[in-house]
Amino acid sequence: MKKLVRDKIIQIIKQDGKKPNYYVAENNEYFKRLKEKLLEEVNEYLEENNFEELVDIIEIVYALAKFQNFNNLEEMRIEKQNKRGSFNNKHILVIEK
């Protein structure tokens, strides 16, 4: 099994006296693994409702944005929030078919 891990995990494993088997992914694989990791963390959050999973999701979103040279993620988030709002008011739109 292969899985993308946070940057310091290899170092932590080594500090524990173990020898990790790892490699540095090429760009295509890295992008694929980031998307897989995002799904994994979202599913874990949905199952466990654990805020630590939300932190992982945010970290992956930032990594995806950085990988795709998308440097103004936070600016766009704020712009969209100002334009369309956020999800704090708990509004549910009922759509008739």
The string of pLDDT tens digits covering residues 45-86 is 999 999 999 999 999 999 999 999 998 999 999 999 999 999
Residue 40: name the closest of 25, 60, 68, 65 by CA. 60
Distance CA 23, CA 46 (A): 30
87 falls in which pLDDT band (50, 70, 90)? very high
What are the structure tokens assigned to 6, written together? 């946070």
pLDDT of residue 10: 96
Pair 4, 34: CB distance under 8 Å? yes
Q: How many percent of the chain have pLDDT more than 70? A: 100
Whether this model's pTM surpasses 0.85: yes
Distance CA 93, CA 95 (A): 6
- Once rounded to an integer, what is the mean pLDDT over residues 29-52? 97
Domain map of the chain by residue range?
A: 9-71
